[in-house]
Amino acid sequence: KAGVTQTPRYLIKTRGQQVTLSCSPISGHRSVSWYQQTPGQGLQFLFEYFSETQRNKGNFPGRFSGRQFSNSRSEMNVSTLELGDSALYLCASSTGGLAGTDTQYFGPGTRLTVL
Amino acid sequence: GQQLNQSPQSMFIQEGEDVSMNCTSSSIFNTWLWYKQDPGEGPVLLIALYKAGELTSNGRLTAQFGITRKDSFLNISASIPSDVGIYFCAGQRWSGNTPLVFGKGTRLSVIA
């Protein structure tokens, strides 16, 4: 089974621009979660999509948004980029069900640098 | 956002030594997970724990889900150079539909 894939792996943008990142989950997984990882704040939850609906949301400004398609692929968008948005953006997929043994598997991440 | 208290922050050990790290929280979690992250890569799942008191092994790795549901530990026995990396604990209120809350990680260095 192929793992979680994320594209692109690296991205350089300038302040004020917007960016779209893509995530393809493991086949059969319907939940995609996005996390931001920075040296100062560690891994912070952005949002989770399940069956094309945002099911959970972290504490990030509205410049961060996402969506999920019918094939469970997900995109996240950051508008009006700020220097502090430079980070590794990770997505994780899971079945998303209520079974007590569901687990999130991570992709390799997209390294975003804002200049 | 909320984070777990993970310690130690970093460790330098000799090859062959055993390693122990732990994670604590003021809140109860019903799932505890341990991940390892190599530079430039995403976290890789090592062990998942779903029941209080559960002790689970994966090769040289052993992890336990604390009885109070507020802590977990990870042991690595007979460390080898490829154990180098950052180890993260993560707690989840309810498996499947709640976000992961992460510790800040333990950076492990192994001296051959």
Q: Which residues have C-beta within 8 Å of that of residue A5, sequence separation ≥ 6?
A: A23, A24, A107, A108
Q: Do B43 and A56 touch (CB under 8 A)?
A: no
Q: Is A52 on the interface with B (CB under 8 A)?
A: no
Mean pLDDT of A56-70: 96
Q: Which residues of A touch B41 (CB under 8 A)?
A: 108-109
HSE (side-chain half, CA atoms, 13 Å) at B70: 4
Mean pLDDT of B13-18: 96
pLDDT in tens, B48-105: 999 999 999 999 999 999 999 999 999 999 999 999 999 999 998 876 678 889 999 9
Q: Is A4 on the interface with B (CB under 8 A)?
A: yes
Q: Which residues of A touch B30 (CB under 8 A)?
A: 100
Cα–Cα distance for residue pair A105/A77, rounded to 1 Å: 21
Cα–Cα distance for residue pair A62/A97, rounded to 1 Å: 27
